[in-house]
Structure 1
Amino acid sequence: MSEGTAPKEHFAGVFSLQKTIKIGAGATSRRVAQSSFFFVSENEEGQLIMQALGPLGLPVGTKTPITREDLLKSYLPEPGMYQQTVLPKMREVQVSVARGEKFRKRGETFTAEFEFNKALALDEENVRANFGIGLCYLSRGEKQKADEVFRRVVSIEAAYEPEHKHLFNEFGINLRKSGMHEQALEYYQKGLNISPNDEHLRYNAARAAFEKGDHETAAAHLGKALEINPGFDEARTFLEHLKKKGLA
């Protein structure tokens, strides 16, 4: 980027879809207008992504690509709703998550948990807040609570998007370090189902399998990691160690 060039601002807004539905039957039937609201944002590739707005006015559920042509043809812009309702709530969630992450990195896990819960009260599927509160539980050794968060996280589709990769890895590593090897393996496998050629996920899965005592699975993940990246020295050293010990 040349000096003085401002970063590109990605499009975001709220749109509605108007439908007419029939209520009742016979002479008492009538038609009423029904509106559904959607949050539409532009990703890094310039693609428009649509999500339904939940009852609290925040995006929820599956993200669906939509073309600009279809958006303008079938949906109506709702700039007032975006500016007055959706954007302020999204910012409120972002502020709580940022505060939670700041306190967690300081080791103030109970204050961090409070901030993450404020975010989750508005957006229960917020990926960063779920990861953050799970890391708080793991750092305090509260494995049952961490497992509950783990079960919630693995069901959130957005958790496996590239932008959350560092959080994904940090959570998986902390699951392993906390002795929750089964959960860590399940977690990494979920990621590998989406990104099977990620050698670092393979390596992390190998470490979790090794510490669980499943040397065969560990060796298989390391072998695959080296197929993907023959120059992955850590994976090669790990695999050679297993072979030297007669474990692979």
Structure 2
Amino acid sequence: MAEAESQRSRIKGVFSSERIAKVGAGATVRKTTQTMYWFAEEDEEERIWIQPLNPNYVPSGPKQEIPKDEFLESYAPEPEFYSTKVYPSIRKLNQTIAKAERHRANGETYSAEMEYGNALRVDEENIRANFGLGLTYLERGETGKADNIFQRLIKIEAAFEAEHKHLFNDFGISLRKNEMYDQAIEYYAKALELSPNDENLHYNMARACFAKADITRTVEHLRRALTLNKDLEIAQKFLLYLKKNNLLPQKLSSAESSTPE
């Protein structure tokens, strides 16, 4: 029985839920049934996550966890709705983003911008499309437009999840290289709230703090990175550079005297 349970397929697909709403007031009040459609997925820990579908039939917005008992009781599978509406919409959206990413990889930034825009008209909170458009603007040095994307992304927690790590890292580094240091620091601070034990995030935060001449925070994040990974060579070299150039704060210099040469 346990083996059969472990081998069962995880829940994944489109489901509907119904809500009774009152319309009108007084003697004219009446009840109506509202149907909502959700994309639901079960993770490895058997938790159920649901995400609403937007008017373009793609999952959009924040995911929320729902108890499995409540889900099984109140949500109905909609396999035909998924196959005729949702799957084609998701597929087309992913194709549009893939086309945009190919244009960006080839240096065709204006074509990339157009395709990312097409994707965002379908799903304005799509993480890949937002990161991609932000990177496109940064590659063109259009920091004002990139800042608009930054302000959007910093409010979306899903942007900092592991599945977006590659784009996430590229975006943070590009912010710093475009001298958007305040944004880079805010960006890495948000990321560290969600992943406080990522040594690379601490190293990148140190780089951003150094660009702002905040040596104390630079050293703090370098030391944290090396606590998490004592063999992180780039952090070792950065700390050594600070020592050799007498840039360490006085109260920290003695504490760093044992840094590997």
TM-score (norm 2): 0.86
Question: How far apart, in 2, do the equivalents of 1:87 and 1:10 lie?
Answer: 18
Is the Cα contact below 8 Å between 2:185 and 2:209 reproduced in 1?
yes
Amino acid at match of 2:157: E
Corresponding residue of 1:51: 51
Matched, 1:230 2:233: no
Q: Please tell me the root mean square deviation across aligned C-alpha atoms, in Å.
A: 1.8
Q: Deviations over 1:175-209 (max 9, x none)?
A: 11111111111111110011111000000111111
Matched, 1:74 2:110: no
Query: How far did residue 67 of structure 1 move?
Result: 4.2
Question: How far apart, in 2, do the equivalents of 1:206 and 1:194 lie?
Answer: 17
Query: How far did residue 172 of structure 1 move?
Result: 0.5
Relative to 1, partners in 2 of residues 1:85 and 1:229: Cα closer, same or farther, differing over 3 Å?
A: same
Query: How far did residue 68 of structure 1 move?
Result: 3.8
- The SS at the match of 1:49 is strand
- The SS at the match of 1:148 is helix
Question: How far apart, in 1, do the equivalents of 2:44 and 2:92 lie?
Answer: 23
Deviates more, 1:13-22 or 1:66-75: 66-75
Question: How far apart, in 2, do the equivalents of 1:44 and 1:118 lie?
Answer: 33
Q: Deviations over 1:35-81 (max 9, x none)?
A: 12211123455543211122222222221123443222111112222
Question: Percent identity among equivalent residues?
Answer: 49
Corresponding residue of 1:218: 218
Is the Cα contact below 8 Å between 1:100 and 1:113 reproduced in 2?
yes
Query: How far did residue 90 of structure 1 move?
Result: 1.0
- The SS at the match of 1:36 is strand
Corresponding residue of 1:104: 104
Matched, 1:181 2:185: no
Query: How far did residue 11 of structure 1 move?
Result: 4.5
Matched, 1:195 2:195: yes
Corresponding residue of 1:5: none
Deviates more, 1:226-235 or 1:22-31: 22-31
Uncovered stretches (5+) of structure 2, i.e. residues with no partner: 1-7, 249-261
Is the Cα contact below 8 Å between 2:192 and 2:198 reproduced in 1?
yes
- The SS at the match of 1:62 is coil
Is the Cα contact below 8 Å between 2:60 and 2:126 reproduced in 1?
no
Residues matched between the structures, number: 241
Is the Cα contact below 8 Å between 1:14 and 1:81 reproduced in 2?
yes
- The SS at the match of 2:65 is strand
Question: How far apart, in 1, do the equivalents of 2:94 and 2:44 lie?
Answer: 19
Corresponding residue of 2:156: 156
Question: How far apart, in 1, do the equivalents of 2:82 and 2:196 lie?
Answer: 37
TM-score (norm 1): 0.91
Query: How far did residue 12 of structure 1 move?
Result: 2.6
Amino acid at match of 2:191: G
Amino acid at match of 2:242: L
Question: How far apart, in 2, do the equivalents of 1:43 and 1:103 lie?
Answer: 33
Is the Cα contact below 8 Å between 1:216 and 1:247 reproduced in 2?
no
Q: 1:21-170 alignment to 2 at 5 Å? A: 21-43=21-43, 47-170=47-170
- The SS at the match of 2:63 is strand
Amino acid at match of 1:172: G
Amino acid at match of 1:133: L
Deviates more, 1:25-34 or 1:51-60: 25-34
Is the Cα contact below 8 Å between 2:23 and 2:29 reproduced in 1?
yes
Is the Cα contact below 8 Å between 1:154 and 1:187 reproduced in 2?
yes
Amino acid at match of 1:143: T
Relative to 1, partners in 2 of residues 1:73 and 1:11: Cα closer, same or farther, differing over 3 Å?
A: closer
Uncovered stretches (5+) of structure 1, i.e. residues with no partner: 1-7
